[in-house]
Amino acid sequence: MGAPMARRLLAAGHQVVVWNRDMSKAQALVSDGAVVADTAASAVKDCDLVFTMLSDGKAVEAVLFDGGVARALAKGAVVIDSSSISPPVARDHSARLQVLGIAHLDAPVSGGVVGAEAGTLAIMAGGEADVVDGLLDVFAALGRVTHVGPSGAGQICKLANQQIVAITIGAVAEAMMLVEAGGASREKFREAIRGGFAESRILDLHGARMVTRNFVPGGPSKFQLKDLDAVKAMADLFSLDLPLTEQVRCAFSDFVAGGGGDTDHSGLLLHLEAMNAAKGGEGKE
């Protein structure tokens, strides 16, 4: 998602320096006007605003602190972490950057690659409200930003978003199996309920994937599981019982353990089909 976000910023007239652990991904942005840096630290030199979009908290830690980014930034700079990481890690990063005179927003996004390309991302920003307000023109190139609370609040809202996404994917997948077992067309079922109370972005995009059986990611299932594991950690911390979330987390855990980690998260359908086929129920090769 980082590449289309960078392209949106470039198209809006911002000067953008890029760095990626896979340099071929950074080089792909040169034709759009980006400048490629050799290291993460050199990428942020003289920059007022830094976006990070990385796989997990360990990767963010490695780039910001082990990779020298924090030390290379000037006082007054702002780091916007759009990665999906645990709220305590986000708060830790914010506190450590604040000591250096650097502002920090945890601002994970939802909308996938399609939303990143279209500039329609839902951006959940945690941190100081005045920092968010001062960057509204920058966020406008990417989507709709909402200040959801203090440091870490962006990440907790993203985890809640991922709960809804995962449970809804599971619900749509199970419904697809039920209607086919009963003799109806999955494609026509999806068409029939569009616009009703079951309408959702998941039914729109991932329901279509389930009909066409196109499970090229997208959002890899291993990242969906990573987020659900983080939800479980926070639920344990808050002494919350979240039975629906736990059930779908276990399903994703089994799917990833069985080799589905790099399959789009809508591919949870494959796991449910295989589970039912093993029991002698409906399955589909």
Report the CATH number of the 156-282 domain.
Answer: 1.10.1040.10
- Report pLDDT for 285: 47
3 state SS of 132: helix
Q: Which two tokens stand for residue 23?
A: 């340099």
Q: Are 190 and 142 in contact (CB under 8 A)?
A: no
Residue 124 φ then ψ, to 5°? -105, 105
Across 241-250, average pLDDT: 98
Sequence-distant contacts of 183-190: CB under 8 A, at least 24 apart = 186/210, 186/211, 187/211
pTM value is 0.89
Q: Is the pLDDT of residue 14 over 80?
A: yes
Cα–Cα distances (Å) from 282 to 39, 41, 274, in that order, read: 51, 53, 9
CA atoms within 13 Å, Cβ hemisphere of 157: 22
Q: Which two tokens stand for residue 87?
A: 């709220």
Lowest mean pLDDT among 31-35, 54-58, 179-183, 199-203: 54-58
Q: Are 221 and 256 in contact (CB under 8 A)?
A: yes
3 state SS of 223: helix
From start to end of the chain, where are the E strands?
Answer: 17-18, 35-36, 49-52, 78-81, 103-106, 109-110, 121-126, 143-149
- Residue 3 is given by DSSP the state H
- Report pLDDT for 94: 98
- Report pLDDT for 281: 56
Q: Which two tokens stand for residue 272?
A: 């449910």
Per residue in 149-163, pLDDT (tens digit) is: 999 999 999 999 999
Across 167-175, average pLDDT: 98
Quick check: is 45 catalytic?
no
3 state SS of 225: helix
Mean pLDDT of the chain: 95
Across 127-138, average pLDDT: 98
d(CA 167, CA 47): 40
pLDDT band at 282 (very low <50, low <70, confident <90, very high): low
Q: How many C-beta atoms surround the C-beta of residue 61 within 10 A?
A: 17
Q: How many C-beta atoms surround the C-beta of residue 124 within 10 A?
A: 26
Catalytic residue among 45, 58, 158, 232: 158
Give the rounded percent of residues in the chain with a pLDDT score beyond 70: 98
- Report pLDDT for 256: 98
Per residue in 37-61, pLDDT (tens digit) is: 999 999 999 999 999 999 899 999 9
For the chain, the 3-state helix, strand and coil shares in percent, each to the nearest 5, are 60, 10, 30
- Report pLDDT for 280: 75
Instruction: Specify the fold of 1-150.
Output: Rossmann fold (3.40.50)
Per residue in 59-112, pLDDT (tens digit) is: 999 999 999 999 999 999 999 999 999 999 999 999 999 999 999 999 999 998
Domain map (residue ranges) of the chain: 1-150, 156-282
Q: Is the pLDDT of residue 231 over 70?
A: yes
Amino acid at 276: N
Across 207-224, average pLDDT: 96
Across 181-193, average pLDDT: 98
What is the C-alpha end-to-end distance of the chain, expressed in Å? 31
Q: Is the pLDDT of residue 284 over 80?
A: no
